[in-house]
Amino acid sequence: MPLADGFEEIEGLGVISVLRGAKIDVDMVGVVGNVITGGRGVRVIMDKSLKDVKVGDYDGIVVPGGTRGCINLGKSEKVKKMLLEFYEQGKLVAGICAAPKVLAEAGVLKTKKATIYPGMEREIPYPRGDKIVIDGNVITSQGPGTVIDFALAIIEYLLGKPAADMNRKNLVA
């Protein structure tokens, strides 16, 4: 999960918590620096730096929202290149809230249906009003209130429906 200053903490840390609870390894990757500050001032120590990440080492990439965080992610050509590389290799590419805009800027959403934070629909080519949209290897979600369902969709994609159902039960979701 690439993180940049201004990321939405609920979306980043909430998804990480749910995925790690499902025994999915998740690295928090600092786009600039190894301490990233979320949009509400929460400082997080990164597991890795962007320069140390190789697409071949991962099954997918998940991008949290937060307007300022997404602006900062979108400034990184390396992030956009990596998003496209994950997509082209058929690996999971997921974005929540404002993050689908970054996916679109990277070229991931050229032919994909997706959702985005309400009011930002013009930022993606084929917007849908659903809270979660899954189109092949791309999963998108609308915002902070959809974090649990978004994370469960990622679990189902990576580990299968039984694992997602078990985690849904454990989360009382």
Q: Can you tell me whether residue 147 is helix, strand or coil?
A: helix
Q: What secondary structure letter does DSSP report for 19?
A: H
Torsion of CA 127, 121, 71, 82, to 10 degrees: 10
CB under 8 Å to 123, separation ≥6 — which residues?
98, 100, 101, 104, 116
Q: Can you spell out the DSSP letters for 113-141?
A: EE--STT-GGGSSEE--SSEEEETTEEEE
Choose, from 4, 19, 79, 97, the residue flagged as catalytic: 97
Catalytic residue check, 97: yes
**What are the helix (H) ranges across the chain?**
9-21, 67-74, 77-88, 99-106, 147-159, 161-171
Show which residues are catalytic: 97
